[in-house]
A and B are shown apart, each in its own frame.
Chain A
């Protein structure tokens, strides 16, 4: 399990370069490649099985997504993290997700309700396990969290909006993986309310809860002291 938000949406494209790109991207988002870590082409070649020239283009591509920083002659490194950047990403996530949520609640049909209920069930199950102290499936939990939020906005009617949101969500997820902060019952309760609001088409309340949810998540992550 190492798919990221934007990859879950795309079609699989089976080329060596594309595979390496996805693996490196996923390793950055899930923290296996750490913020600020130097990315040496030689070493990446062995780990990801792509040629140096392919890897160079992959890193250029990741730098246009701001997940990698290109430093001219000195090579590449994993983009650093900062409090400021986390706040910017959280604000952008909220801007996009609140807007999409409203559109989605207005247009959502029974199929959409089914997707929300199914995604909520999986997330709630994992949250109960986490709450009982089982931390063995953190990545799966985060994936279900993403799938739940994605299901809520999935009837918004705009693939452009969904894709932009997915890209921002991945960056948000990266911070969550670094802080590894589990807010426990508070976040679980917020998910429960949002799921109810969806079925009641109560966009106003869902919006309030989502704002609290993201802002609470940011403060909790910052309180761990892992992001400076």
Chain B
């Protein structure tokens, strides 16, 4: 938890997180116009605060700033998804290698716990229960974050978090659910992590990410 901040501060931060979350989870659709006046009420922030929040999201490439003309939610494309996926593979592959080398028994127990929760969610998803998609995605993220948690670089983890959010957005928008195949890959990642076999894990991760991109493209879920 973050420490308490000034009341006004909290409002701005809360609105920022709320809008960011709504973009990533597809509640604000790609290309949607973001009118400051209309955002004021749902996000409880002033127009001037909202303007800075949208500029901030623009520098994260989640929003498109169009100069004086206003803002819109960043569009999506196959090309961008491929770039994001390649970037995730680069950062996460490298971070896993470092993490597997440094991880201690504490780290092992963290990945076991994270995998346990994810596997439970995957079972629910697999039996047709789609009420908990956000929760499932959260556990997915937590598992992948746990795998790299011992990499020793906060800068690398921060860069990975940022790119993972973009990746997640595509997963949500394209409603990517690959079922048991992805669950299998998570299981393999866990085993390779405990066995400290980085090369094998990197192979599975590459397959995990590329299969996801291909699934999206094959099903025509994103415009070229």
Residues 29-55 of chain B, each 1 if its beta carbon lies under 8 Å from chain A, else 0: 000000000000000001011011101
Residues 167-198 of chain A, each 1 if its beta carbon lies under 8 Å from chain B, else 0: 01001000000000000000000000000000
Residues 52-70 of chain B, each 1 if its beta carbon lies under 8 Å from chain A, else 0: 1101101111000101100
Q: In this assembly, does A225 line the interface, its C-beta being within 8 Å of a C-beta of chain B? A: no
Tell me the chain B residues, 147-200 only, with Cβ under 8 Å from chain A.
Answer: 153-156, 158-159, 162-163, 166
- From A61, A91, A92, B59 is in contact (CB under 8 Å) with A61
Give chain B residues whose Cβ lies under 8 Å from the Cβ of A64: 56, 60
Which of A12-20, A109-117, A141-149, A204-212 is the interface stretch? Answer: A12-20
Q: Judge whether B49 and A91 touch: CB under 8 Å.
A: no
Give chain B residues whose Cβ lies under 8 Å from the Cβ of A21: 52, 55
Residues A164 and B87 in contact in the complex (CB < 8 Å), given A56-B12, A60-B56:
yes
Interface centre among A6, A51, A70 (most CB of B within 10 A): A70
Q: Judge whether A57 and B49 touch: CB under 8 Å.
A: yes
- Chain A: interface residue total (CB-CB under 8 A): 40
Residues 1-14 of chain B, each 1 if its beta carbon lies under 8 Å from chain A, else 0: 01111101100110
Q: In this assembly, does B16 line the interface, its C-beta being within 8 Å of a C-beta of chain A? A: yes
Residues A72 and B4 in contact in the complex (CB < 8 Å), given A56-B12, A91-B156, A161-B83:
yes
- A residues sitting closer than 8 Å to B (CB atoms) are 6, 10-11, 13-15, 17-18, 21, 51, 53-54, 56-58, 60-61, 64-66, 70-73, 85, 88-89, 91-92, 95-96, 99, 158-161, 163-164, 168, 171
- The 8 listed contacts between A and B (C-beta, < 8 Å) are A17-B52, A53-B46, A54-B49, A73-B3, A88-B154, A95-B90, A159-B83, A168-B155
